[in-house]
Amino acid sequence: MTRRQKKTLARIAAAALLTLVAALLPLEGVWKALAFAVPYLLVGWDVLWGAIRKILQGQVFDEEFLMSLATIGAFAVGEYPEAAAVMLFYQIGEWFQSVAVGRSRRSIAALMDIRPDMARVLRGGEEIELDPEEVAVGEILLVRPGERIPLDGVIVEGGGSVDTAALTGESLPADKREGDTVISGCISLTGLLKIRTESAYAESTVARILELVENSAEKKARVENFITRFARWYTPLVVASALLLALLPPLLGQGAWSDWLRRALIFLVVSCPCALVVSVPLSFFGGIGGASRDGVLIKGANYLEMLDRVDTLVFDKTGTLTQGRFAVDAIHPQAVSAEELLDIAAAAESYSSHPVAESVVLAHEGDIDRGRIGEVEELAGLGVRAVVDGRTFYVGSGRLMDRVGADWHECHLPGTVIHIAEDRAYMGHIVISDQLKPDAAGAIRRLKELGVKRTVMLTGDGEKVAQAVAEQLGVDEVHAGLLPAQKVEEVERLLAEGCRVAFVGDGINDAPVLSRADVGIAMGALGSDAAIESADIVLMDDKPSRLPLAIRIARRTMRVVRENIAFSLAVKFGILLLSALGLTNMWWAVFGDVGVLILATLNAMRCMVRIKE
């Protein structure tokens, strides 16, 4: 609670006490009015003052104005206790709302408590503490056990386990050794690490994630925009009805002025749409915040809303459903030795970050002399063209071989095949195989249980491998041998069929698809800038099982939003109707305004609760 909230609470308590005293005193007439005016003014002076200021600025129909009008009206018709109570409860509602919003805002900050306070840097043999923003690229950081890693970098000395939980929701720490990259925001648990920074703080993973989370409030869901528009005509409409209710029947000779005025005042109190205006954004806020704790970053409420409605999930294969760490099964050279073929392939691939390339480089024992490598061109979804030792090689899929006109042939072995050619002369191929992610099959099953109608896998890899993977995972549809542009076409075809499509990829060769789908979900984004940029939802670690979780979070958030809208409107319209018929009193109005606000806010706060898997 902030100091201001504490002061308001004290004022509310004092006013409540004075109201009680006023109610117990046997007073009549003016004295009674005065006795209630004291707590009324004590608790409501700022509301009255705010209303006056707003009127001077030409803004009517705002909450403070409505409350002031309603309570002054109540005084005018002799409902002193009611007037004091309405103001009292209004302030209780406001107080409650500010505590709830403040709390959820702070809890997002706490959830995302990954901002490093300082960086310890070795400069000229001395340790100095700096603001992470002052550290340059290439400097050596010192991170002690228990400390947060302030910038992204590579371990140059030391090792130990690193806790990534704040970023990924993954509770198992990862082991890191010399030469491994580490990500800012993680905590070094056991070892003393010396880390060479690879980027400035502004480009670090931590800074990017924080920026993303902070900006997520700006992208509003359709329901949020609807509520804003709704509030804009709801309030004037109810106020106009109140005016008609106060004037028309008595002018037509139907009953006393004060009776109709009373009914109209209830309208004024109920005309406040704050329950919706507050609870709907709060629900999204809670959903997005809660998800971030599980390593699911959602870039805006609109994507949460969309994810709730998704019925078709499209997956990339390599690195998304499979691990993207290939083992070499066989080397089939033609006219060169196996070692030579692997050596050329590894050299050609040494600048590529594609999982295939990284695996080939890993399979090649010994260092690759980078001086041998000339111009390199990455051909997205096909492979690479590289100049090694002054000769031009093509390394990649059968499709790439077709492109260059090499005389290649399929391999009889199952697995992903990397073909190698020098210009048009075919040199043979390397057969590599990948493994499914352990939780991929379970994730697909869960998604179907959650009512996802169609699962589709798109891959640039060959038909045989693709079929085998799809079969093992229970994916409904497969399309193999696709270039990145053709993946986009497949997604467009699904969209044209009326499917609501989420695409899940690892951000390598699939950025165009990520942005084309209704919702683009990037996986394994720790450290991958491209994925963080182009996706709408970012899964920090690379586990497919986060997908059903993300969908459940979206579903729950939307359910709470719908509950709140239905409940608030039903209660408010119900009370308006009963009041027009003269069947209510001010206390009903208090419930219709503050009661509904508090209940809706409490319901919205459910969105922050962590979902158990």
**Residue 288 lies near ligand ADP (rule: CB under 6 A):** no
**Residue 383 lies near ligand ADP (rule: CB under 6 A):** yes
> What does 427-474 look like in DSSP terms, one character per residue?
EEEEEEE--B-TTHHHHHHHHHHTT--EEEEE-SS-HHHHHHHHHHHT
Give me the residue label for tokens 């009041």.
579
Taking the least distance from each CB to Mg ion, the nearer of 294 and 316 is 316
Contacts of residue 179, Cβ cutoff 8 Å, sequence gap at least 6: 154, 155
Contacts of residue 372, Cβ cutoff 8 Å, sequence gap at least 6: 347, 388, 389
**Residue 586 lies near Mg ion (rule: CB under 5 A):** no
Residue 147 φ then ψ, to 5°: -95, 155
- Single residue of 300, 396, 520, 544 touching ligand ADP by CB under 6 A: 396
Q: Kindly state the DSSP code that residue 7 receives in the 8-state scheme.
A: H
Taking the least distance from each CB to ligand ADP, the nearer of 168 and 397 is 397
- Rounded to the nearest whole angstrom, what is the least distance from the CB of residue 419 to ligand ADP in the complex? 8
Beta strands in 92-163 (DSSP E): 119-123, 126-130, 140-143, 153-157, 160-163
- Rounded to the nearest whole angstrom, what is the least distance from the CB of residue 506 to ligand ADP in the complex? 7
- Rounded to the nearest whole angstrom, what is the least distance from the CB of residue 453 to ligand ADP in the complex? 23
Taking the least distance from each CB to ligand ADP, the nearer of 487 and 556 is 487
Contact 514, 458 (CB under 8 A): no
d(CA 229, CA 232): 5
Two structure tokens written together for 348: 């050609």
Residue 191 φ then ψ, to 5°: -100, 160
Please report, as residue ranges, which positions from 156 to 215 form the binding site for Mg ion (by CB under 5 A).
Answer: none
- Total residues at the site for Mg ion (CB under 5 A)? 4
**In the beta sheet, which residues pair with residue 245?**
none
Query: Could you list the active site residues?
Result: 316
Helices 257-270 and 546-580: angle between axes, nearest 10 degrees: 170
Please report, as residue ranges, which positions from 498 to 557 form the binding site for ligand ADP (by CB under 6 A).
Answer: 508-509
- Rounded to the nearest whole angstrom, what is the least distance from the CB of residue 224 to ligand ADP in the complex? 35
Taking the least distance from each CB to ligand ADP, the nearer of 80 and 503 is 503
**In the beta sheet, which residues pair with residue 384?**
378, 395
Contacts of residue 163, Cβ cutoff 8 Å, sequence gap at least 6: 173, 186, 187, 188, 189
81 binds, among ligand ADP, Mg ion, none (CB under 5 to 8 A by kind): none
**Residue 415 lies near ligand ADP (rule: CB under 6 A):** no
- Single residue of 418, 420, 600, 608 touching ligand ADP by CB under 6 A: 418
- Rounded to the nearest whole angstrom, what is the least distance from the CB of residue 485 to ligand ADP in the complex? 11
d(CA 8, CA 44): 11
Q: Is residue 174 helix, strand or coil?
A: strand
**Residue 421 lies near ligand ADP (rule: CB under 6 A):** no
Taking the least distance from each CB to ligand ADP, the nearer of 317 and 546 is 317
Burial class (CB in 10 A: 0-12, 13-18, 19+), 105: middle
- Rounded to the nearest whole angstrom, what is the least distance from the CB of residue 396 to ligand ADP in the complex? 4
**Using CB under 5 A as the criterion, what x/- string covers residues 309-348 for binding Mg ion?**
-------x-xx-----------------------------
Contact 263, 252 (CB under 8 A): no
**C-alpha to C-alpha distances, 417 to 213, 245, 508, 607, nearest whole angstrom:** 41, 80, 19, 47
- Single residue of 74, 270, 382, 401 touching ligand ADP by CB under 6 A: 382
**Residue 460 lies near ligand ADP (rule: CB under 6 A):** yes
396 binds, among Mg ion, ligand ADP, none (CB under 5 to 8 A by kind): ligand ADP
- Single residue of 209, 384, 452, 475 touching ligand ADP by CB under 6 A: 384
- Residue with the shortest CB distance to ligand ADP: 460
**Residue 11 lies near ligand ADP (rule: CB under 6 A):** no
Taking the least distance from each CB to Mg ion, the nearer of 176 and 437 is 437
d(CA 373, CA 344): 10
Taking the least distance from each CB to ligand ADP, the nearer of 349 and 490 is 349
- Single residue of 205, 318, 359, 579 touching ligand ADP by CB under 6 A: 318
Query: What is the separation of C-alpha 453 from the centre of its chain, rounded to a whole number of angstroms?
Result: 24
Q: Is residue 186 helix, strand or coil?
A: coil
* CA dihedral of 98, 102, 105, 106, whole degrees rounded to 10: -170
Taking the least distance from each CB to Mg ion, the nearer of 359 and 564 is 359
Taking the least distance from each CB to Mg ion, the nearer of 147 and 316 is 316
Listed ranges 191-199, 234-242, 351-359, 440-448: which one lies at the site for ligand ADP (CB under 6 A): 351-359
**C-alpha to C-alpha distances, 318 to 321, 381, 411, 483, nearest whole angstrom:** 6, 11, 20, 13
**Residue 428 lies near ligand ADP (rule: CB under 6 A):** no
469 binds, among ligand ADP, Mg ion, none (CB under 5 to 8 A by kind): none
Please report, as residue ranges, which positions from 494 to 523 form the binding site for Mg ion (by CB under 5 A).
Answer: 508
Enumerate binding residues for ligand ADP (CB under 6 A): 316-318, 349, 352, 354, 356-357, 381-384, 395-397, 416, 418, 459-461, 508-509
Enumerate binding residues for Mg ion (CB under 5 A): 316, 318-319, 508
